[in-house]
A = this chain, B = another copy of it.
Amino acid sequence: MKLNKQNEILTFIQHKIENEGYSPSIREIAEKVNLKSTSSVQYHLDNLIKKGLLSKKPNQSRTLTSNKLISTFKSVPIVGEIAAGAPLLAEENKIGEISVPQDKFSENLFALKINGDSMIDAGIFHEDIVVIDKGVEPKNGDIGAFMINETEATVKYLDTIGNKRYLVPANKIYENQEITSNVQPIGKVVSLFRDI
């Protein structure tokens, strides 16, 4: 099975939507990928739709949408220092915004700017931005964000040793911290961004 045309068509549609803001018509696709007949394009579109890579509304023009398309982003707030007493996502804690693809977006996402090198062995560096899903409670072995004493947010591994639960840094020079009532889980770390 020759996927060249199919891929060519798919990426053309995606780029058209990204750059122009709307889907191409079938004849525009035909011209772009050097097919003389609209039905040839239909043939490939049907296959792409069967594969779940595209969607369209029947009998409606320019309603092709790429299911994988990243064109729609939503922004999530970046939290820096936690102002004493203020709720985590209060305006005064916000130092910026980061955008995530809509297919990965949920209302529960926010981002945290890493301060320090306690997770360096996990590849999380000072000033990296980590995205946190408040809707997912970190489990053993996960990297999670935790609130300590309601004033400080920290990112650590969560692990159980014996029958106690610990915040475990990824850096030998720091020590495990037992999770007591002054530690509240915030959510699970799901992705990371770094400017180099």
Oligomeric state, in number of copies? Answer: 2
B-side contacts of A22, CB under 8 Å: 22-23, 62-65
Closest to A77 in B: B11
Asked if A191 CB lies within 8 Å of chain B CBs, one says: yes
Also in contact, A99 and B73, with CB within 8 A (given A22-B22, A196-B191): yes
| A interface residue numbers (CB < 8 A to B) | 4, 7-8, 14-15, 17-18, 20-23, 25, 60-65, 69-75, 91, 97-99, 101, 120, 123-125, 128, 130, 143, 189-196
Check B190–A71 contact: CB distance below 8 A: no
Check A74–B189 contact: CB distance below 8 A: no
B-side contacts of A99, CB under 8 Å: 70-73, 101
B-side contacts of A61, CB under 8 Å: 25, 61-62
B-side contacts of A195, CB under 8 Å: 190-191
CB distance from A4 to the nearest CB of B (A): 8
